[in-house]
Amino acid sequence: MTLPVFVFVAALVVAIGISVALAIGRGAALANLREILGVGAEGDLEAAARAVVDGRTAAAWQAQQRAADLANLADLIAVGILRLDEELRVVLANHAAHAFLERAPGELPGLSPMEAFADHEAEAILLSARERLAASGEVLVGGPDGRRLVVRARRSPAGGFWVVLEDVTELRRLQRIRSEFIDNLSHELRTPLANVRLLTEALTRDLEAFDAPDRVRDRVAKLDVESGHLVQMVNELLDLSRIESGASQLYLDVVDLGEVARAAADRLRLFAERQGVRLESDVPEQPLLVKGDAERLGQVLANLVHNAVKFSPTGQSVVIRAERGADEVVVTVADHGPGVPRADQARIFERFYKVDRARVRGQGGTGLGLAIARNIVEGHGGRIWVQSEEGSGSTFSFAIPAADFA
């Protein structure tokens, strides 16, 4: 064989080898494809591949529809909704979010928190959500006359963040008006009420000098009890507005809670006697020290004792106890009144909550006393609770962390 013929034959052999290898390779790839698509050797591979492509197009279209549907729903909701990416830039925002942040439709996407809210507190809430999964707070956007928004942000399991904005401008305005009204009214009621109390006391003293009939004495005693309830109610209303305006600061000092309990018992003993209720105190001599605001803690006790007396049948007793626990001082006020049904026990510490309005008719109150008591106790880092069986009395307790002198 001459050289050119040899080269030609060799090239032919290589070309055939490559073609055979390619054919084998393609055959293997096709077999793989059949296996992936679940098409047998006789099945129509092309039809199966088309079905996959069609399915993918349909899924993309459905996803698009779902997103449009969700955006439509989000626009109907009167709460602002924002979707942020990992960098906290706005990805999506509904109509309400645009309206609350005073933006034209479509202006929010792409903005950073500072650009969207123009408020450092809002930015801080979002940064904190990025650090801690979720965060919330109330912010004022758009200057002093702007909107009050409650901002709640939470990391989404799908990445990024959801932010919900609630416009509470009107709610806060109404709350302020209500609070100012209650505050003014209570102040106005205070003076005439103090005069009624003074007159009742003078009348009680006068009656002792005269030989007045029992009927008259009885009426004056009732006048005293009822005006006592009124004073308590006005004080509670004033406390509520003080708490709501954020002015109810605690002045902490080392306080003997046993002494506070004894003082409350002394103050309310006469009131109890006029209701025909015996007030007993079982408080140890040694000091039970806590870090607290003596006046506020006295108010908690006055409240619990006032309730206990108010709900006690005539002839029964109310007992005030104070004792040192492991790391706290516990004070209890026990009565033999109607008790608090189990279902109401957690709720009576809510504002304005009263168990059964019919049952307490004639012993009316504001339904605020226990809410105020809880606010004060929790402000001391303590807790307050009730144990009661309906029909056999109640024991209200609160615990304040003991003052550490070590």
Residues that bind ligand ADP (CB under 6 A): 307-308, 311, 335, 337-338, 340, 348, 353-355, 360, 365-371, 394
Q: Which is nearer to ligand ADP, 113 or 338 (CB)?
A: 338
Q: Which is nearer to ligand ADP, 207 or 238 (CB)?
A: 238
Nearest distance in Å: CB 221, ligand ADP: 21
Nearest distance in Å: CB 141, ligand ADP: 36
Closest residue to ligand ADP, judged by C-beta, is 365
Nearest distance in Å: CB 194, ligand ADP: 20
Nearest distance in Å: CB 400, ligand ADP: 19
Which amino acid appears at position 49 of this protein? A
Could you tell me the two tokens for 73? 């729903």
Helix (H), strand (E), coil (C) string for 308-371: HHHHCCCCCEEEEEEEECCCEEEEEEEECCCCCCHHHCCHHHCCCCCCCCCCCCCCCCCCCHHH
Nearest distance in Å: CB 333, ligand ADP: 8
Dist CA 153 CA 128 (whole Å): 9
Q: 162, 153 in Cβ contact below 8 A?
A: yes
Could you tell me the two tokens for 40? 């047998």
Dist CA 102 CA 109 (whole Å): 14
Rounded to 5°, the CA angle 65-70-76 comes to: 130
Q: Which is nearer to ligand ADP, 227 or 366 (CB)?
A: 366
Q: Which is nearer to ligand ADP, 239 or 256 (CB)?
A: 239
Nearest distance in Å: CB 403, ligand ADP: 28
Q: Which is nearer to ligand ADP, 94 or 375 (CB)?
A: 375
Q: Which is nearer to ligand ADP, 210 or 352 (CB)?
A: 352
Q: 390, 301 in Cβ contact below 8 A?
A: no
Closest CA to 136 of 152, 121, 148: 152
